[in-house]
């Protein structure tokens, strides 16, 4: 059985098109549906997981079905293992040496940035929040040493900035403990 460590996502500006695109992606290849849901500001996101070729085929079929409704899409062939737990929100353990935050205008670009950040430095992704109650924006929080967080935030920010979708990036050395309750 092929490795299923690749993910693909399509972000759409239409809820109706989102359901149609989800169906097209699932019919195009043997992929696992991770999520297909409407999010804030009338967007819809579809994420699938599977082998590289299957995910590429599914995203290609979804892109074709999306037409003018497509906002953004990606395929990450070898997603970092910390991305999935962060989608569920991992509770931080104890005081953090540093806290990094990346904020983007699109879900797709933010997930790509989180993967790039996690691959670039020894950081732990805490949470990926995707457009729910955020006006369509998304953000990721991460922790590690100050140097690692700075490096990871810069790597992730470069991915989002290349698409012109970076809202902000912040690194907070030794964040106050009161912030821990607000992170996840």
Phi and psi for 48 in degrees, rounded to 5? -125, 160
Residues contacting 75, CB < 8 A, separation 6+: 6, 7, 8, 52, 55, 56, 59
Rounded-to-integer distance, Cα 95 and Cα 92, Å: 8
Domain boundaries, the chain: 6-76, 83-183
Mark out the alpha helices in 10-133 (DSSP H runs): 15-28, 52-66, 83-88, 107-120
Question: According to CATH, what is the number of the domain 83-183?
Answer: 3.30.70.1710
The per-residue pLDDT for 1 is 41
The per-residue pLDDT for 96 is 81
> Is pLDDT of 2 > 80?
no
**Can you tell me the mean pLDDT for 9-31?**
96
**Can you tell me the mean pLDDT for 109-129?**
93
**Can you tell me the mean pLDDT for 69-74?**
93
- Locate 87 and state its tokens: 């989608």
- Locate 34 and state its tokens: 């991770």
**Can you tell me the mean pLDDT for 105-129?**
92
Q: 128-184, pLDDT tens digit by residue?
A: 888 666 677 889 999 999 999 999 999 999 999 999 999 999 999 998 878 777 665
Q: Positive or negative CA dihedral for 108, 169, 133, 119? A: positive
Beta pairing class for 6-12 and 70-76: antiparallel
Residues contacting 103, CB < 8 A, separation 6+: 110, 137, 138, 139, 166, 167, 168, 169
The per-residue pLDDT for 151 is 98
> Is pLDDT of 115 > 80?
yes
Percent with pLDDT over 70 in the chain: 91
State the chain's mean pLDDT as an integer.
Answer: 89
The per-residue pLDDT for 40 is 83
Tell me whether domains 6-76 and 83-183 share a fold: yes
Flag the least confident range among 58-67, 91-100, 101-110: 91-100
Say if residue 22 is exposed, middle or buried (CB neighbours under 10 Å; 0-12, 13-18, 19+): buried
Q: Which CATH superfamily is domain 6-76 in?
A: BMC (bacterial microcompartment) domain (3.30.70.1710)
Rounded-to-integer distance, Cα 29 and Cα 40, Å: 28
């Amino acid at each position: 059985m092929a490795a299923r460590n690749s993910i693909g996502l399509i972000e759409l500006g239409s809820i109706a098109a989102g359901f149609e695109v989800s169906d097209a992606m699932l019919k195009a290849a043997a992929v696992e549906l991770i999520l297909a849901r409407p999010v804030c500001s009338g967007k819809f996101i579809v994420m699938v997981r599977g082998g590289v070729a299957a995910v590429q085929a599914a995203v290609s079929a979804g892109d074709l079905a999306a037409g003018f409704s497509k906002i953004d899409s990606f395929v990450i062939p070898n997603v970092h293992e910390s991305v999935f737990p962060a989608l569920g929100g991992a509770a931080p353990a104890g005081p953090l040496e540093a806290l990094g935050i990346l904020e983007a205008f699109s879900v797709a670009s933010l997930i790509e940035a989180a993967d790039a950040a996690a691959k670039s430095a020894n950081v732990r992704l805490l949470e990926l929040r995707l457009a729910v109650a955020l006006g369509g924006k998304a953000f990721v929080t991460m922790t590690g040493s100050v140097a690692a967080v700075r490096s990871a935030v810069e790597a992730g920010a470069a991915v989002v900035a290349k698409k012109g979708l970076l809202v902000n990036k912040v690194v907070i050395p030794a964040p106050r403990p009161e912030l821990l309750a607000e992170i996840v």
